[in-house]
Amino acid sequence: MDESTVAVMLRDLAETPPPPSSVDISRAAVAGRRRVRMRRLMSGASAAGVAAVVALVAMVSTGLPTEGPGPNNPGSMPSAAPAQFDPFLQYAEFGWLPEGSVGSTITIDPRFYFNLSAEFETPAISSDQSAVRRVDLWLAPAGQNVEFGLPDVPAPGSYESTQFNGREAWWFEDGSRTTLRWQYAPQTWAAVDVVLDGPGAGRDVARRVAENVRYGVDLPIRQPFTTTGVPTHWWVCLVMVYRHGQEWDVEVTYAHDLDADWALTIHAAWPSERVTAVPTTVVDGYPARTDARATYGAGLQLFNVDGMFVDLQYYDAQTGALLPDGLVGVFRATEFYPDPADWR
């Protein structure tokens, strides 16, 4: 048997008629987004001990701020960070952004971070004509050694120490991305990420965004759904609200207990036409898709639910066992409000 024979055999075997695919790109994107978030969060973890010492030295040399948070006073940093973030309150807001922001995302993992993101689909023009693609604000809760923006092994010259509002801070640059990381409260890190179209004055933009952050605004984050389908003792471990013109999508993810990983996500998006997929079944009159996988839990996607796309997922068999009526039961116990004016 020579090599060409093997090649023919393999090519023929590859043409075996496949069963319907169970590969789910949306699930991969959800899982991938989560890993990306965690990678970003954890990227500086290895330097935590060093940074704590640096922070302590900085505090001794500069003194602690005496003013409390100033929601209407951009740049005024709080004397203490929240112990954890309320998943339904927007803790901070941008006091300044470059022109041209067209979309925004709020993501809150109460224990680990608050993230506010602005997208610039039509390139904005910053002071030095650099096109801004994205601006992110990251805040850690008190007591969490989350250091945003610093990689495990920074390339020499890619970061440098600086000062921000009298506290130790760092610049980190990676291609078109510029990060300013500073302590917005004692020993508690914040970061602004600026992604430009190309090399440019990312530092100017990042510094100005950071200087104008309004802390402690605590704006209510309203939701396009309410549910009684999730056990009341489960807690919300992630909220994500995305708005872009008339389009939106919102995810709320639950965990069983404080130590648990993600258990269940309820996700709604509008308009449903943003999702083009072939339904495989019908649930309560709505075109739907279902998938059940031993490894990844199960998913239920429904199309055109009062104009919305609804996606329910749980991530492990244990959660499935705790939902007696499955994801269909969760869907039926959830009330949806497609008009943002009606969000609760």
Partner 1 sequence: MGSRAWLALEVYVKTDDERRYIDYVSSRLAWLRKVAFLLCQDWHRADDLAQAAITRLYVHWHSASRADNLDAYTRRVLVREFLSARRTVWGSRVDLHADPASAAPPTVHWPAPQASADDDPVTRMEVRAALAQVPARQRAALVLRYYCDLSVVETAEVLRCSPGTVKSQTARGLAALRLALESRQFVPADR
* Interface with partner 1 (CB under 8 A): 1, 3, 5-29, 31-33, 35-36, 39, 105, 119, 121, 242, 244, 249, 269, 274-278, 280, 289, 293-296, 309
In whole angstroms, the minimum distance from the beta carbon of 134 to partner 1 comes to 8
78 contacts: CB under 8 Å, gap ≥ 6: 65, 68, 69, 184, 185, 215, 216
In whole angstroms, the minimum distance from the beta carbon of 284 to partner 1 comes to 20
Alpha helices in 103-201 (DSSP H): none
Q: Residue 109 phi/psi, 5° resolution?
A: -110, 105
For residue 338 the two structure tokens come to 């497609």
In whole angstroms, the minimum distance from the beta carbon of 133 to partner 1 comes to 9
Calpha distance 344→340 (Å, rounded): 9
294 contacts: CB under 8 Å, gap ≥ 6: 317
Alpha helices in the chain (DSSP H): 3-14, 25-42, 48-62, 202-211, 317-321, 326-332
Q: Which residue lies nearer to partner 1 by CB, 113 or 120?
A: 120
In whole angstroms, the minimum distance from the beta carbon of 318 to partner 1 comes to 16
Q: What is the DSSP letter of 258?
A: T
In whole angstroms, the minimum distance from the beta carbon of 148 to partner 1 comes to 17
Q: Which residue lies nearer to partner 1 by CB, 274 or 344?
A: 274
Buried b (16+ CB within 10 A) or exposed e, 203-225: ebbbbbbbeebbbbbbeebebbb
Q: Which residue lies nearer to partner 1 by CB, 21 or 246?
A: 21
The letter for the amino acid at 149 is G
Q: Which of 304, 276, 278 is nearest to 289 (CA)?
A: 278
In whole angstroms, the minimum distance from the beta carbon of 118 to partner 1 comes to 12
Calpha distance 269→305 (Å, rounded): 10
- What is the distance, to the nearest Å, from the Cα of residue 4 to the centroid of all Cα atoms in its chain? 49
Q: Which residue lies nearer to partner 1 by CB, 24 or 86?
A: 24
Q: Which residue lies nearer to partner 1 by CB, 14 or 60?
A: 14
Calpha distance 280→129 (Å, rounded): 49
Q: Which residue lies nearer to partner 1 by CB, 26 or 165?
A: 26
Cβ–Cβ under 8 Å, residues 109 and 138: no
Q: Which residue lies nearer to partner 1 by CB, 8 or 52?
A: 8
- What is the C-alpha R_g of the chain? 23
In whole angstroms, the minimum distance from the beta carbon of 297 to partner 1 comes to 12
Q: Which residue lies nearer to partner 1 by CB, 60 or 294?
A: 294
In whole angstroms, the minimum distance from the beta carbon of 187 to partner 1 comes to 30
- What is the distance, to the nearest Å, from the Cα of residue 260 to the centroid of all Cα atoms in its chain? 18
Q: Which residue lies nearer to partner 1 by CB, 130 or 183?
A: 130
Q: Which helix (H) or strand (E) holds 249?
A: strand 247-255
In whole angstroms, the minimum distance from the beta carbon of 278 to partner 1 comes to 4
The letter for the amino acid at 272 is S
